[in-house]
Amino acid sequence: MQGLLSPIVAGVWRLREWQFDTPTLVRWIEHAIELGITTFDHADIYGDYGVERAFGDALAAAPSLRDRLQLVTKCGIKLVSPARPAHAIKSYDTSRAHVVAAVEDSLRALRTDRIDLLLIHRPDALMDPDALAETFAMLRTQGKVLRFGVSNHSPSQFALLNRRFALVTNQVEFSPLNLGALSDGTLEQALDLGLPPMIWSPLAGGRLFAASDERAQRVRSVLDELGRERGVSGATMAYAWIRRHPSRPIPITGSGRIGALSEAAAALQVSFDAEEWYRVWQASTGHTVP
């Protein structure tokens, strides 16, 4: 996925909470790009189906931005919402009709003619992998979506679809407080296939530097100490710790603060040796390696 996404991605899940007006959002996008963060992660459902539209307004206000950035969005979750009155219950849907309709909605909302990367947001128990692969192929032929992947899929679920259509990533949760991807085969699969995973909640949803439990305090203490040695923040070290894995994970930020984007981008200049990496792992697990 080299060249497709920037090594740090800006997540806009909370965009509506930031209460940016369009000019402010344009400036924020420009700042991110200046930091080398050129990829922006969306989902159709974010902000009760409103985030893509707000971002699209910014792209319409500054049309030159579109060719300087990459748009990632996700579909497949159906929320009960006034914005989607036909949805009777929260459910998953990877049918051709829903995926195509979701893509069309995202293209309109984002004011763009193509999506750089489309992800299936959650595993759908009723997914027909052959039919979904055909849908992906159609959307790619039409030029509406350039690349495809999944989010929150297990290794076997990823493999089921990847055998039928070449995916480029699995977006999963991973942080110094959430180590599941290290042991469930997700990162091994990504490494084996040479497909860098996208990482959501790299700071554990903020708990890494806000929670008062013993585990979070242990991890925070190690990250802060390692950061002081390098003249960077503990948050920068958390991003660097994730990036140290040989599968070359791509962390997604979740903040509207330029300072937070800068902390994430600074991780690109930080190295971790193996013993330091395992110090963080040990602080998280509470024990040494077996």
Query: Quick one: 287 exposed, middle or buried, by C-beta within 10 A (0-12, 13-18, 19+)?
Result: exposed
- How confident is the model at residue 97, as a pLDDT? 98
Residue 46: active-site member = yes
Q: CA-to-CA distance for 8 and 25, rounded, in angstroms?
A: 18
Q: Where does the pLDDT of residue 118 fall: very low under 50, low under 70, confident under 90, or very high at 90 and above?
A: very high
Whether residue 106 has pLDDT greater than 60: yes
Q: Where does the pLDDT of residue 52 fall: very low under 50, low under 70, confident under 90, or very high at 90 and above?
A: very high
Whether residue 50 has pLDDT greater than 60: yes
In a domain, 50, yes or no: yes
Q: CA-to-CA distance for 42 and 39, rounded, in angstroms?
A: 10
Whether residue 154 has pLDDT greater than 90: yes
Query: Quick one: 262 exposed, middle or buried, by C-beta within 10 A (0-12, 13-18, 19+)?
Result: middle
What is the average per-residue pLDDT within 186-204?
98
In a domain, 37, yes or no: yes
E-assigned strand segments in the chain: 9-11, 39-41, 70-75, 77-78, 91-92, 115-120, 145-151, 170-173, 198-200, 250-253
The answer to whether 171 and 197 have CB atoms below 8 angstroms apart is yes
In a domain, 284, yes or no: no
Spot the catalytic one: 46, 49, 92, 278. 46
| Domain span at 76 | 9-168
Whether residue 1 has pLDDT greater than 70: no
Q: Say if strands 198-200 and 9-11 run parallel, antiparallel, or are unpaired.
A: unpaired
Whether residue 3 has pLDDT greater than 90: no
In a domain, 188, yes or no: no
DSSP 168-220: --EEEE-BTTB-HHHHSSHHHHHHHHT-PPEEE-TTGGGGGGT--SHHHHHHH
In a domain, 273, yes or no: no
- How confident is the model at residue 110, as a pLDDT? 98
Tens-place pLDDT, residues 255-275: 999 999 999 999 999 999 999
In a domain, 94, yes or no: yes
CA distances from 215 to 178, 182, 268, 273 (A): 11, 18, 26, 22
Tens-place pLDDT, residues 119-148: 999 999 999 999 999 999 999 999 999 999
Nearest to 1 by CA among 250, 176, 258: 250
- How confident is the model at residue 214, as a pLDDT? 97
- How confident is the model at residue 150, as a pLDDT? 98
In a domain, 115, yes or no: yes
Whether residue 2 has pLDDT greater than 60: no
Mean pLDDT in the chain? 97
In a domain, 285, yes or no: no
Nearest to 59 by CA among 112, 7, 100: 112
- How confident is the model at residue 160, as a pLDDT? 98
Whether residue 171 has pLDDT greater than 80: yes
51 contacts: CB under 8 Å, gap ≥ 6: 12, 13, 15, 16, 42, 43
What is the average per-residue pLDDT within 4-22?
97
The answer to whether 256 and 18 have CB atoms below 8 angstroms apart is yes
Query: Domain tally for the chain?
Result: 1
Q: Which CATH number fits the domain that encloses residue 31? A: 3.20.20.100
255: part of which helix (H) or strand (E)?
none
Beta bridge partners of 171: 151, 198
The answer to whether 249 and 217 have CB atoms below 8 angstroms apart is no
The answer to whether 239 and 8 have CB atoms below 8 angstroms apart is yes
Whether this model's pTM surpasses 0.85: yes
Q: CA-to-CA distance for 188 and 207, rounded, in angstroms?
A: 26
